[in-house]
Structure 1
């Protein structure tokens, strides 16, 4: 059972999300919070696997809450769920360690799929947000291009191929199909890529790939 927590200062939004997730097999809403500070308190009190996190909230916003949650001994996976397509706040949340984000008007099935995907250790980015993220990275991370390319030099050619597809938002199964590999082999490659790039998750690896110009 995937234990989720909903973090949003709008009670009606939390109720709507709870209805969506409680109807999904294998998922339960274990906790709710109205801001980031409350979210961290609840995560300390009980284990949750996935957090759906709003960005703009009183007291502690979603960005700072993400940092605090990921510092816990058993950190949950954080997905930013926002009304904003992509802005500096969302980029900062991803850089802080969130494993993806969706728009609040996403189809309920996409929200359920996001919870399942990130609980399995993968990333979930809304397509339009992924495009905006690339644009944002190109505009703000030129100074990191050289360092990113240096780290990418640590990868084998096969690992680079996996990273390109990963950065484009492909799942392990999709990468395996595209490259004619077993999914277990893809998982092993992804683990080595994360270790070589010294990052903690797939989103941060994708940022390095885009900083280095590996994807366009």
Structure 2
């Protein structure tokens, strides 16, 4: 479980960030000040740090340099809205990413995951396959969509995996039945439609406004993992 150090002097913001990170499977440790963060970092191991630029005792940039004296710790900065100079300086000293306040905690959690994957330190995402907004952990039999873990049934997982094996290709209901319901030969075409419907609902819940599954009337279904909206021929 990757350990994330959060250094933020506003408890309400820190609590929201910690909750979002824990919901995504990370261990989150919060420090109110830079001094406290340095003490924790010397005694414990962390995989990434989320640093507020405007800390009361040690500036976020100075804290970043101190944290990186002994190891190449990935860092994401939290900056005030419109603070372009802070963002530029943060990137110049080697920040891996920055997020402008106010921000979406879910987006921050996704950025943490991306930075960890880029750094090769997220053990739970090592070996996953990325298809647009999807991350597929074949060994764990699970998908994330835009950073959000999907709670799928066995057959919903099978439908999504089958579609993502050939993005853009139209799979007929019969093909999906053969690939997903091979152990349940008595199931009918409506079974496929029902599971596609519930799968779509879960994708929409994870990332509102998106609809990567396309319905091709009289033909079947396809998926465009990089698209946000639209179902060719209409949704069903």
CA offset at residue 9 of structure 1?
0.9
Q: In structure 2, how many angstroms separate the alpha carbons of the residues matched to 1:36 and 1:93?
A: 16
The 3-state SS of whatever aligns with 1:121 is helix
Bigger fraction of residues in strand: 2
Which residue does the alignment assign to 1:37? 35
Which residue does the alignment assign to 1:80? 77
The 3-state SS of whatever aligns with 2:86 is helix
Q: How many residues align?
A: 123
Do residues 48 (structure 1) and 46 (structure 2) align?
yes
Contact 2:24 2:109 in 1 (8 A): yes
Q: In structure 1, how many angstroms separate the alpha carbons of the residues matched to 2:84 and 2:104?
A: 21
Contact 1:79 1:98 in 2 (8 A): yes
Bigger fraction of residues in helix: 1
Contact 1:35 1:61 in 2 (8 A): no
Which residue does the alignment assign to 1:100? 97
Do residues 68 (structure 1) and 70 (structure 2) align?
no
Measured on the aligned residues, the alpha-carbon RMSD in Å equals: 2.3
Q: Which runs of 5+ in 2 are unaligned?
A: 120-129, 132-236
Q: Relative contact order: is structure 1 or structure 2 higher (C-alpha 8 Å, sep ≥ 6)?
A: 1
Q: Please give the per-residue CA displacement for 1:151-192, whole angstroms capped at 9, x wherever unaligned.
A: xxxxxxxxxxxxxxxxxxxxxx79xxxxxxxxxxxxxxxxxx
Q: In structure 1, how many angstroms separate the alpha carbons of the residues matched to 2:46 and 2:14?
A: 16
Contact 2:48 2:74 in 1 (8 A): yes
CA offset at residue 96 of structure 1?
1.5
Contact 2:81 2:102 in 1 (8 A): no
| Structure whose alpha-carbon radius of gyration is higher | 2
Which of residues 43, 50, 56 is equivalent to 1:58? Answer: 56
Which residue does the alignment assign to 1:179? none
The 3-state SS of whatever aligns with 1:113 is helix
The 3-state SS of whatever aligns with 2:118 is coil
Which residue does the alignment assign to 1:7? 7
Contact 2:16 2:105 in 1 (8 A): no
| TM-score, length basis structure 1 | 0.52
